[in-house]
Amino acid sequence: MSLARLPMSVMQKLVPGRMWALEDALAARTGAVHAVEDAPERFEIVAEALRRGHRPPPSLRAMPHMVASMRGILRSLRSVDCNPPRPRIEMPPGDLAALEAHARTLGVDDMGYARLAPHLVFRDKAVLYPHAIVLTMEMDKAAIDTSPGEASYVEVHKTYHHLGRAANGLAQWLRARGYAAHAGHPLMGLALYPPLAQQAGLGWCGMHGLLITPRFGPRVRLAAVFTSIENLPPPPENPHAWIEDYCRLCRRCARECPPRAVLDEPLLGANGLVTCIDVERCFPYFVEQYGCSICIRVCPFQQRDYAGLKRHVCP
C-alpha cells in the first residue's frame, strides 16, 4: 500500500495537525528565537507529495520508524513545557563532560556547539533558545550503498527515529539537572541543520548541500538540542573548508543525479544562505525512488579516506 493510499487514521499520525499547532504555539512565545523576514520556508515533504499526487513506493519496514519519528516530534514540542521555571544558565566543566558521555550512550556519533542565528530558523517558526548542541548520527554504509531502494529508505528513517530519540533523551537529561532544553528533531526540524553543524565545526556543506563529516562523509543525519546554557564551548575555527575546493573539482553528485537537480553553481541568497538543489527537479524523483540518497552514495567522502582526499587539494 502506498503512503497516499493509507487510511486517514494512519495519515493523521504521519501528518498530525497537532504538530503544526504545537509549532504555532512555540512561535507565539516571547523570548524565543524567531525567524527573520527573509528566512527560508520549510519544505513539507509529506504534504507536498500528497498535494502534487506523487506516490511513494510501499515500505512497511519503514513505517514503524516513520510513526516513531512523528511521536518523537510531538514529544520534542510538548516537552518544552516541562522545563524548569528558572533554569540554570551556567554549566560547570564536569556537567559538560557528563553531557558528552551521556550523548554517546544515546548513540550520538559526534557533537559540537554553535549559536543559532535567526536566519537559520524556518519562516513562521521559532526555537526556544539560541544556544545549540548539534548532533550527528551515522547511517549504515551497506544500506546507503543500495540507494535508491527500500533498504536505504528504511535506514534513513531508522536513523531519524533513533537520532530523534537521542535528542529528546539529551533534553530530558538536561532538564533533570536544572537546565532548560528544546530538542530539535532531525525530521521536520524548525531550523536549518547543515549550516548550523558547519558552524559547530562538525564538517562542511558539500555541493549537494549536505554536511560532509570527516568520519562518515554525508552519510549522517543531524539534530540539535537548544538550551538555556550560555557558556557552551565556542565553536572552533572550522578546519574543513577545503571540502568546498574538492567539490568544485569532483562534481560527481551533480553528474550522477538522475533528475539533474544538483546546481552547477550554488545560489547565494541575500540572507547568506546557499541553495544547492533545484527542488522542482529533485522532489518527484526523490518521492518516487525511496528518498533517492544517490548523492550520498556516490560522494567520495563516504567511500574513501578523508585525509587521502584532502591531499588532492591540500598537498
Which sequence spans correspond to the domains of the chain? Answer: 3-231+240-313
Confidence of residue 195 (pLDDT cuts 50, 70, 90): very high
- What is residue 163's predicted lDDT score, i.e. its pLDDT? 98
Each as own residue / partner, the long-range contacts of residues 12-17 (CB below 8 Å, 24 or more positions apart, any chain) are 13/67, 13/70, 14/46, 14/66, 14/67, 14/70, 15/46, 15/47, 15/50, 16/70, 16/74
Quote the cell numbers at residue 18. 497537532
Which residue has cell 568544485? 248
- What is residue 220's predicted lDDT score, i.e. its pLDDT? 98
- What is residue 270's predicted lDDT score, i.e. its pLDDT? 81
pLDDT, tens digit (0-9, with 9 covering 90-100), for 116-129: 999 999 999 999 99
Confidence of residue 15 (pLDDT cuts 50, 70, 90): low
The total number of residues written for the chain in this structure: 315
Which positions ≥6 away from 252 have C-beta within 8 Å?
Answer: 298, 299, 300
pLDDT, tens digit (0-9, with 9 covering 90-100), for 82-119: 999 999 999 999 999 999 999 999 999 999 999 999 99
Residue 187 has pLDDT above 80, yes or no: yes
Do residues 123 and 40 lie in contact, with contact meaning Cβ atoms separated by under 8 Å? Answer: yes
Residue 33: CB atoms within 10 A of its CB come to: 23
**Nearest to residue 300, comparing CAs of 257, 251, 264, 236?**
251
User: What ranges in 86-241 are assigned the alpha helix state H?
Assistant: 93-105, 141-144, 150-176, 193-199
Sign, CA torsion 120/90/168/212: positive
CA angle 78, 153, 2 (to 5 degrees): 85
- What is residue 6's predicted lDDT score, i.e. its pLDDT? 45
Q: Which residues pair with 183 in a beta bridge?
A: 225
Mean pLDDT of 44-50: 81
The residue that leads in pLDDT, 155 or 50, is: 155
Mean pLDDT of 259-283: 92
The residue that leads in pLDDT, 178 or 45, is: 178
Confidence of residue 161 (pLDDT cuts 50, 70, 90): very high
Quote the cell numbers at residue 12. 493523521
**Nearest to residue 103, comparing CAs of 149, 170, 163, 186?**
170
- What is residue 14's predicted lDDT score, i.e. its pLDDT? 52
- As a whole-number percent, the residues of the chain with pLDDT over 90 amount to 82
Residue 235: CB atoms within 10 A of its CB come to: 18
pLDDT, tens digit (0-9, with 9 covering 90-100), for 213-266: 999 999 999 999 999 999 999 998 999 999 999 999 999 999 999 999 999 999
- First vs last C-alpha separation in the chain: 53
Which residue has cell 502506498? 2
- What is residue 53's predicted lDDT score, i.e. its pLDDT? 82
